[in-house]
Amino acid sequence: MIHFDPQGKIFTLGNERFRYVFHINAAGVPAKLYFGRPISPITENEVRAASNLAGDVYAYLDTKTNEEHIFDNPYFNGQTSAVEVPPHNSFDKRNSLIAINHDDDSSVTDFRYVRHEITKGKPTFADMPYIRDEDCTAETLMVELKDSRDEIYLRCFYSVFPDVDVLIRHNEIINKTGHDIHLTRAYSLCLDLQSNDYSLISLHGTYASDREVEEQDVFHNEIVLEENAGAKGFYHNPMAMLRKHDASNDHGEVIGIGLVYSSNFKISVMGTQMETIRVLAGMSDYDFYAPIAPNETFVTPEAFLVYSSQGIDKATHGFHDLIRNHLLRKVPEGMEKIVLLNSWEGNMFDFDTDKIIASLNAAKRMGVNLFVLDDGWFRNNDTYGLGDWKLDTEKIDLKKAIDHAHALGIRFGLWVEPEQINFNSDLYREHPEYALFDPRIDHPTTLRHQFVLDMTNPEARDNVFAKIEAIFAEYELDYCKWDFNRMLTEAYSKTLDRRYQHEIYHRFVLGSYKMLDRFVKRFPNVLLETCSGGGGRFDMGMLFYSHQIWASDETDVVPRSSIQYSTNLFYPMKVIGAHVSARKLLSIKEKGALAMFGTFGYELDPCGFGQSKFDEVKIANKRFLDNHDTIFEGDYYPLMDPYKTNFVSWMCVDKSKDSAVIYFMNYRHINWRARFLKLRGLDPKKTYRNNLDGKAYPGDFYMEVGLNLSDGMPSLTPYVIELKAK
């Protein structure tokens, strides 16, 4: 998967479906040659043809200063050529990969090749999430470079898997100068493309509109996707795609960009004067000024590129398979097929032991096998209690409730928010230094009556973790919902050395990762779902630790359908928390048609249900469980775009192409007219029986003619259509 041609100093990386090629030029600069479908090996004779741009010969980078060698490398232009490690404040005036403030305050940062290694497997990190290679099928290239002026080394890592069309990148900056240096920028990858004939597909949002698709053309502008909230960030998601203008869902070039990180990030897409593109992705440089002491190493988070020559769908499958095959932890035994009931929307803080017992009895009738007691088990409102984590024994007999659940065959879980602290709490009164804010601010921001816990402080982490650990150790708990309900403001640690205050956002998330890592190792059999005011921290960094993420606090089917449609673009359905709520639109069975395309459950109070509602629940549960494996492990195909039509539709096809399940819903009322829903991803030679008309048709019939949905439909009429190969 990784090959080095010593004669041309050419590196070729990839698998059967893509190639990534760069070489070390005469100046010691790693220069990119190609990224795309597999081609014959690029040789030394072809380097110039692959890298020369019009006008380069007028501004080439000399490798020597005397005239004798002036044409040593006439096809490399520091201002326009494609490079792997663009310098800072040097010959390349496009955005840089790494920027260092040296001890003399010079910011010139220019790395040149020293050596390389090719190894089996891929790197792991002690304190950050990463793409896993548990079967050691990956190969990794490490290219070491040295700064042109100081003893500072940069190690660039590239990893490739045989089963996913992904190139994984991260960088390590090593200080061997004998004195402190300061990073002011530390991105994880750079990608230069020879054309700006692309549009950028990304996800933006806000609370209860957590992820919405946006597409914009790249011209000579710079498009920046950036979060600076520190953790709970709704504005942008750290995933994106570059779509070639002639590409569609099933053909053409699409390049995915992603990060395995949960704090401030930036994805920059710059259109250049040569009508090329430079992509940079990694940690945001917002308020970032990180010291590296002598002999220390700074490691950037992992970023990655997904390649598809067959359109958006294959890029989506690349994201999904990477997450499923190489990121997620294994679900605890017996928790593979869960139907969940969460107490929050049904009860809020208003419950006691008898109410929970009644809910559990109703849950048994519903066919629920996991009950989650959300906020309220340690308090009656949200003004106090975070940080203390003292069970309110007058309100709830937790052992009695858990024992009753287990006697019914129902597992039991709790909601927690370990990274937050109420200012009305014993912990804050005893340790005000545990709250993360600048103490010189007279009125620090207090969102939701709470501060953020200083996750950079080991003592603060240990204090809170010990309380959470005690609860989960004392009671036989099966599930944890780990929430995070406010962003970082006036971010300053009262205990962290002042030298590190300008990397506070990064150090904060490292502290969060430490606590999460500690929790999953202490309680490996607990199903973990993360959450952030809904879906505000929906990223691969969290998914390294958690099995799933609550997608949004918006559960009405109209906005929720577009949120799930958008989320499906990058994330597999097995990680997307989706529940039926008591919101006014549609019946339980109809709401369940949408919620079944995720980690299925309910957010309502079932105690007043009549038999008809229990019957609807059973129908919704059966549809989910019957199609569970296809939804969780199959390939996803979008069919109707809710942003462009009056409809929303998608389908999942299992990997063997023996079964498929389709979701379809109209928004406004429609009358009778010709309407055929063309399916995708089926085997054209197999015959599939559907539950719409009960008949069987060949796969190519479904894909070329389609499902006949020409009948009139009242507003909001959902369909779940199942196909089974004969």
534-585 confidence digits (pLDDT tens)? 999 999 999 999 999 999 999 999 999 999 999 999 999 999 999 999 988 8
Tell me the angle at which helices 588-595 and 611-626 cross, rounded to the nearest 10 degrees: 20
Tokens 């085997």 belong to 683
pLDDT digits (tens, 9 = 90+) for 171-229: 999 999 999 999 999 999 999 999 999 999 999 999 999 999 999 999 999 999 999 99
Other residues' Cβ atoms within 10 Å of the Cβ of residue 89: 14
Residue 136 phi, psi dihedral angles, 5° rounding: 55, 50
What tens digit of pLDDT does each residue of 380-436 get? 999 999 999 999 999 999 999 999 999 999 999 999 999 999 999 999 999 999 999
Query: Please, which residues bridge with residue 720 across strands?
Result: 663
What span, in angstroms and rounded, lies between the C-alpha atoms of 191 and 253?
15
Question: What percentage of residues in the chain have a pLDDT greater than 90?
Answer: 93
Alpha-carbon torsion 673, 674, 679, 682, what sign?
Answer: positive
Burial tier of 465 (Cβ tally within 10 Å: 0-12, 13-18, 19+): middle
CA count, 13 A, side-chain hemisphere, 487: 16
Length of the chain: 726
Let me know if 497 is exposed, middle or buried by CB neighbors in 10 A (0-12, 13-18, 19+). Answer: exposed
- Environment class of residue 120 by beta-carbon count within 10 Å: exposed (0-12), middle (13-18) or buried (19+)? exposed
- pLDDT tens figures, 459-507: 999 999 999 999 999 999 999 999 999 999 999 999 999 999 999 999 9
Digit-coded pLDDT (tens) for 24-72 = 998 899 999 999 999 999 998 898 888 877 655 556 666 666 555 544 5
Tokens of 618: 């059973």
Closest by Cα among 535, 550, 532, 662 to 203? 535
Kindly report, residue by residue over 119-140, the tens digit of the pLDDT: 999 999 999 999 999 999 999 9
Averaged pLDDT, 299-320 = 98
Predicted confidence at residue 66, as pLDDT, reads 57
- Burial (CB < 10 A; 0-12, 13-18, 19+), residue 192, is buried
Percent of the chain exceeding pLDDT 70 equals 97
Mean pLDDT in residue range 73-87: 85
Cα dihedral 438, 440, 443, 446 in deg (nearest 10): 20
Other C-beta atoms within 10 Å of 237: how many?
A: 29
Tokens of 81: 């050529």
CA distances from 624 to 367, 610, 621, 652 (A): 12, 22, 5, 13
Sorted by where each starts, the structural domains of the chain and their CATH numbers stand as: 2-326 (2.70.98.60), 636-725 (2.60.40.1180)
Mean pLDDT along residues 74-95: 88
SS3 content of the chain, % helix, strand, coil (to 5): 25, 35, 45
**Is residue 594's pLDDT more than 60?**
yes
Q: What is the per-residue pLDDT for 57? A: 54
Is the predicted pLDDT of residue 154 greater than 60, yes or no? Answer: yes
In the chain, the amino acid numbered 149 is R
Confidence band for 76, pLDDT divided at 50, 70 and 90:
confident
Question: What average pLDDT does the structure give for the chain?
Answer: 95
- The answer to whether the CB of 307 falls within 8 A of the CB of 318 is yes
* Model pTM above 0.95: yes
Query: From CA 264, how far away is CA 180, in angstroms rounded?
Result: 24
How far is the C-alpha of 223 from the C-alpha of 193, rounded, in Å?
15
Q: Are strands 10-14 and 139-147 parallel, antiparallel or unpaired?
A: unpaired
